[in-house]
Amino acid sequence: MFRQKNTVVWAASIMLCSIASAASAMELSISQGYRDGGKFEADIPPVSYSLAGGPATSIVLGHELDAKRTLEFLYSHQSTSLRNDRTRETLLDLGIDYYHIGGTNEISRSGDTVFFGSGGLGATHFSPSGDYYSETRFSVSFGLGAKHSIGERLILRADGKLFGTFLDSGSGIFCGVGTSGNGCSIAVSGTLAVQYEISAGIGFKF
pLDDT tens figures, 110-141: 999 999 999 999 999 999 988 888 999 999 99
Which are the contacts of 204, defined by CB distance < 8 A and separation ≥ 6? 27, 28, 29, 153, 154, 155
Residues 52-65: pLDDT tens digits?
Answer: 999 999 999 999 99
Q: Note if the bond before 45 is cis, omega within 30 degrees.
A: yes
- Work out whether the CA dihedral 56, 117, 125, 58 comes out positive or negative: negative
Nearest to 60 by CA among 131, 122, 111, 109: 122
Q: What is the pTM of this model?
A: 0.85
